[in-house]
Structures are given as structure tokens and as C-alpha cells.
Structure 1
Amino acid sequence: MKRKNIFLIFLCLALIIVPFIINKDGAYEGADAQADALIYEINPEYEPWAESLWEPPSGEVESFLFAAQAAVGAGFIGYFVGKKKGQVVKGNKSI
């Protein structure tokens, strides 16, 4: 079991690092920025019809909020899956 976990950790690290090695000069930006650029390229006179209710004071705060949202979502999913798995084991049911 330990070898399997170590292999999975190295696989995850490879999936994170390899794209940066393959595309060294790549512009890694969010889909929102790419969409904005494409919209203004298609229609330079475009004016957004809605504005954000609150603008984060910096990019770091925005990144933190995004990461926190992802962590809460992953925690919820992990809790739900673990609870269901525990119910299956207690009930002696097979998946």
C-alpha cells in the first residue's frame, strides 16, 4: 500500500510540473482574462452590462479566495464521499 501511495504522489507532482517544462514560455492566465481579450478583439466597442459587486484589493487576495473556495468544495466532497463509504461498510453492502 505504501508503494502505491508514493507512486501516486510522484504521478501528481509530474502532472503539475511537466506542463511547465514542456511549455517554458507559456502565458498561464485564467480563462476570464482570455475571454476578455477575445471579446474586445471581436468587438472593440463592447461595454460590459454588469459590474462586480466587490473588487478584491489585489491579485493575491483574489487567488486566496479562489483557493479557499476550492478547499471548502473539496472538503465537502471528501466528507460526503467518506460518509457514504462509511455507511456502505457499516451496512455490509458492496458497491
Structure 2
Amino acid sequence: MNQSHKVLNNWFLILAVLGLTIAPLIFVRHGKFGGADDQAKTAITEIQPQYKPWFTAPFAPASNEIASLLFASQAALGAGIVGYAIGVYKGRSQQPKREE
């Protein structure tokens, strides 16, 4: 496979991932995208109703869908950084050693 096909395949994969990330936000109307944070808050309130949180988030997304998108983007970015680091170290280990 030549270089232009690899670049084209990489762009196709990037577009596919973006499409799979954005499609549920467009096509799933009135979906409930709640997470474990909401369930934990409900459980804590049931167990101890007078509990007051000691920390509040500095940024609150406009909706749960945006929060889910930001969380998924954060996970993808972190996975990309970890994958890049693994690739760099793997490539370095496979290079022939230079004699000095």
C-alpha cells in the first residue's frame, strides 16, 4: 500500500469516528444521556438528604448531550496521546542502534 492510500485511509477513519460521535446527537431526539454522576448524586441525596457538596464545577455544559460529547472528546484525545507515546517508544525500540 503506498503512502497516498495510507493518508486517505487515515482521513477516512478520522471522519468515521467523528461521524459516529456526532450522529447520536443529531438523530437521537429526547434521548437520556445521563451518567454515573447523576446516579451517584441521587443515591447520596437518598442516603443523606442534608449533604452539601464541597466542590462545584467551574464550567457547566448547556445540556447532557454536550457534556457527553465533551467527555467522549476528552477520552479520544487521551487515547490518542497514549497511543502516540506508545508508537514513539515502539518505533525507537525498533530502530537499529547507532554506534558512536
TM-score relative to the length of structure 1: 0.60
RMSD: 2.1
Instruction: Mark the runs of 5 or more structure 1 residues left unpaired by the alignment.
Output: 1-27
Counterpart for residue 86 of structure 2 = 81
Instruction: Mark the runs of 5 or more structure 2 residues left unpaired by the alignment.
Output: 1-32
1:32 matched to 2:34: no
Per-residue CA deviations over 1:48-74 (Å, capped at 9, x if unaligned) read 222221210111111111011001100
Q: Which amino acid aligns with 2:53?
A: P
Q: Secondary structure at the match of 2:74?
A: helix
Tell me how far apart the structure 1 counterparts of residues 34 and 86 of structure 2 sit (CA, whole Å). 32
Tell me how far apart the structure 1 counterparts of residues 55 and 49 of structure 2 sit (CA, whole Å). 17
1:69 to 60, 74, 77: 74
Aligned pairs, number: 66
Q: Which amino acid aligns with 1:79?
A: Y
1:47 to 43, 49, 52: 52
Tell me how far apart the structure 2 counterparts of residues 29 and 84 of structure 1 sit (CA, whole Å). 38
Q: Which amino acid aligns with 1:72?
A: L
Q: Secondary structure at the match of 1:52?
A: coil
Tell me how far apart the structure 2 counterparts of residues 56 and 91 of structure 1 sit (CA, whole Å). 49
User: Relative contact order (C-alpha < 8 Å, sep 6+): which is higher?
Assistant: 2
Residue 29 of structure 1: how far off its partner (Å): 4.7
Instruction: State the identity as a percent.
Output: 46
